[in-house]
Each structure stands twice: as C-alpha cells, then as structure tokens.
Amino acid sequence: MLKVEGVDKSYRIGGWMTGKRQNILRNVSFECGKGECLGVIGESGSGKSTLGRLILGIEKPDSGRIVFEGNNVTHRQTRLGNISAVFQDYTSSINPYFTVEEAIMEPLRALRGPGNDLRGKIDVLLSRVGLDSSYKKKYPHELSGGEVQRVCIARAVSTEPKCIVLDEAVSSLDVSVQIQVLRLLKELKEIYQMSYVFITHDIQAAAYLCDRILIFKSGQVEETVHVGQLKQVQSDYAKRLIDHLITF
C-alpha cells in the first residue's frame, strides 16, 4: 500500500552561499502493507522524523519516490482523506483558538466541504477515544496532555484514513497515559483497519503496537525485523540499539 523507493533527502548547511549539504536519508526503501503497523526506530538524528514528513508530503525527497496505492504522495489528492498524522508536540498540533469540535471538524470539512452537518460524527469520534460529548466546546488549554493527544487522535481518524503516521506520538506523555493511548491506538487500528507508521525511540511501545520494526542508522535502513524476532536481529548496531533502548 505504502511504498518508499530509493529515497534521498539532504539539507543545506552553513548558509545559502556555501553550497554544502548534509545527507539525512540515503537510498531508503521499504513497504508498509494494508493494516500493518510498521515501527521506525533509531537514535536521535537518524532521520526518522524527516522520513515521516516525506510520507506526509510536507517535504519532497531529493530523489526516489514515495507512493501510496500507486500514486505519489507529493500530490495532495493522494493524501487527502487517506493519510493523516499524530505528532509528538500536541500543544502546537491544535489551533489554540479552536474548540475541540472545531479542531476535529477541520480535516472533515477539507474533505467533504463546509455544507455537511458533521456534529453527530464528532460525538462518535470523541466516544471512540474515551471522551464524552461535553469536551466539544472545550479549548486545548482546558485539557490535560493526554486529553489533547486523544483529541489529536480523534482528528487523525476522523476521515477514516488508510494510513496514519505517528511521530513520537506518545513520548511526551506520562507513562500511565502512554499505556492508555497505546491501547487506544491498537483498538482504533482494528476498528478502522488502518495502517500505522509508528516512529519512536521507545522499543517497548513499538513491540506492543507494531508488526514489524525498521531499524534506522544514519539515514539508512539498517535492518527490518518482525516484532517476535527482535532478539534475533543480525547487525551489531541493531543489537546495541535494542539493548540500549530496552535498558534506557
């Protein structure tokens, strides 16, 4: 369903006059199947979040391509209603002047237009993420971190997308809230039959939610492994990384 083919990405460093560029992703290729949760783990600076932005069409690769159901994700129509995201920084993910209802309606109106009455759907979405209808008129500053992230998740699933990119979506939450949100994500994945690209540094979270894990090193895919075989990774880097993340 989602296919990344030979993707390279670099950024200019040292100002516009130097012409120097830093390679972030190099010849990255992998696939994420329908209904699969693919974890992406790696050290800070390994290129995980850059990969997430490319999948979401926020940025374009220098070379290679990313296709979703055969169409390039750089085209808005490919992404619209099909690919959504939940980010780490939930405090800046929602317009502070929007109510919860307005925040969730935003992608729905982009997909269906302003003429549709979507209020009944908002109640269902809030219920799905463990919030009651009284939250509709609240603003982000009136909610806890866990509640805001639940609203972000409700917004992400509102268009019933086929794929959600989760970029460190639980890492800013307290441990007890992380567990609740991970359980919620697992339930929603089954309800909507979605695929996830789960970008994280938390190996326990990835092992709980994911089917396969892609291990990133310096902007390249070092190894891909099924969750049940994590202890059988082959490369020395993957062994060190997993041992470090488990004991961290």
Strands (E), 37-146: 37-42, 63-68, 71-72, 83-87
Ramachandran class of 15: left when φ > 0, alpha when ψ lies in -120 to 50, beta otherwise: left
Q: pLDDT band for position 116 (50/70/90)?
A: low
**Tokens, residue 196:** 């996830």
Q: Is residue 45 scored above 80 in pLDDT? A: yes
Q: Which amino acid is at 57?
A: G
> Residue 16: what pLDDT?
67
Task: Supply the DSSP symbol for 7.
Answer: E
> Residue 93: what pLDDT?
85
Q: pLDDT band for position 10 (50/70/90)?
A: very high
Q: Where are the domains positioned within the chain?
A: 83-160
Computed over every residue of the chain, the mean pLDDT equals 90
**Tokens, residue 99:** 């109510």
> Residue 202: what pLDDT?
87
> What's the helix, strand, coil split of the chain in %, to 5?
40, 25, 30
**Average pLDDT of 57-84?**
94
Q: pLDDT band for position 171 (50/70/90)?
A: confident
**Average pLDDT of 4-10?**
96
CA–CA dist 135, 172 (Å, integer): 22
> Residue 209: what pLDDT?
95
CA–CA dist 208, 236 (Å, integer): 23
